[in-house]
Amino acid sequence: MEPSAGKDHKILFLYNHSSTFIRNDLEIFKGKAAVVAYECRISKSLPGFIVSMAREMFFILFNISKSGMIYCWFADYHAFFPAFFAKLARKPFYLVLGGYDVNYLPELGYGSFGSRFRGYCTRYALRNATCNLPVSENLAVEARKRAGNINLHTLPTGYDPEKFTFTDELKENMVITAAIVHEKQTYLVKGLDRFLELARITPGLTFVAVGIGTEMHPDFEPVPENLKLIPRVDQYELYRWFGRARFYAQLSRSEGMPNGLCEAMLMKCIPLGMKVGGIPAVIAGDGYLLDEWDPLMARDFLMSHLADNETGEKARKSIAERFHYRKRAEYLESLLTRLKGYRQ
């Protein structure tokens, strides 16, 4: 039976950029309730910032009385008004934490807390959420560091193993990484400098970095012959690259729940990662973790697993069992059952 069409179970769904995992949550809710979604694109210029925040404020004011709850992806500027008006209207407010919002690398100026005003907006949202939903346990720890004793429930992103199909062809001796990189800060946070260094000392393997904007190519120069820089591709093409590669490298300096790593493991890539953020929880013994960046140790791991056809199989099974999308869907659906007027 379809849900009641009453106003009390409608959902305001806010986010600041579109991505696969955000669209997945949107589809989960749309399957059970009426959803009003809004993409909060915050301008970097002061006049544009004021206009974009004003638009978001009026959107919330217009819709909040007809809604049962507010659900927001990421704590940042755009999470302030949802938190404020949800509190004013006594509506439940759920806030998903993804990484940039609570992680902080002062040496790179990375994180919402690098700015006093931005940090204030983020902290206000964290403290006024009915429940914060970090996608990894390390983000729960970081959130409490920034905002104190707030309400938290760790809820990893989920994946449908059936969407990650591959051929029975042998894997190529290829190491892949994927990140949308258009600026130096992201280049360093995602460890692309480390990936480049590893490619230079491992000429016998092919290295592929997917999602690299052309404006970033000078940061890879001189580009070694065994390194390919690929621009952003669609999801289907990305999974084709994962299917070809034997290894996936997540050499980040900061991470929440690394979705690219999870997806690559579902495509039977052997993972290599740094012991930071949510990376260890994802790899969980089905690959190799570096405590500190050591390119020689990373190279030795790659070279010693060129004939390894078992670890990739184990990696796929591990992600499919531990991070199946139904686990996230069941929790999100349970939020609806708490709303007045909702019925199946």
pLDDT at 100: 83
Answer yes or no: is pLDDT of 168 > 90. no
* Nearest residue to 142 (alpha-carbon basis) of 254, 251, 250, 253: 254
Predicted model pTM: 0.88
Answer yes or no: is pLDDT of 334 > 60. yes
- Quickly state the pLDDT bin for 337 (edges 50, 70, 90): confident
Answer yes or no: is pLDDT of 112 > 90. no
For the chain, what percent of residues have pLDDT higher than 70? 95
Type of residue at 13 = F
Three-state secondary structure string covering the chain: CCCCCCHHHCEEEEECCCCHHHHHHHHHHHCCCCEEEEECCCCCCHHHHHHHHHHHHHHHHHHHHHCCEEEEECCCHHHHHHHHHHHHHCCCEEEEECCCCCCCEHHHCECHHHCHHHHHHHHHHHHHCCEEEECCHHHHHHHHHHHCCCCECCCCCCECHHHCCCCCCCCEEEEEEEEEECCHHHHHHCCHHHHHHHHHCCCCCEEEEEEECHHHHHHHCCCCCCEEEECCCCHHHHHHHHHHEEEEEECCCCCCCCHHHHHHHHCCCEEEEECCCCHHHHHCCCCEEECCCCHHHHHHHHHHCCCCCCHHHHHHHHHHHHCEHHHHHHHHHHHHCCCCCCCC
Q: Domains for the chain: give ranges and CATH numbers.
A: 7-158+324-336 (3.40.50.2000), 161-322 (3.40.50.2000)
Q: Which residue has the higher pLDDT, 213 or 100?
A: 213
**pLDDT tens digits for range 142-151:** 999 989 999 9
Answer yes or no: is pLDDT of 166 > 80. no
Average pLDDT of span 191-211: 97
For the chain, what percent of residues have pLDDT higher than 90? 74
**pLDDT tens digits for range 272-327:** 999 999 999 999 989 999 999 999 999 999 999 999 989 999 999 999 999 999 99
Task: Give me the residues paired with residue 70 across strands.
Answer: 12, 93
Average pLDDT of span 35-53: 88
**pLDDT tens digits for range 226-265:** 999 999 999 889 999 999 999 999 999 999 899 999 999 9
pLDDT at 88: 94
pLDDT at 340: 60
Answer yes or no: is pLDDT of 8 > 60. no
First to last CA, the chain: 6
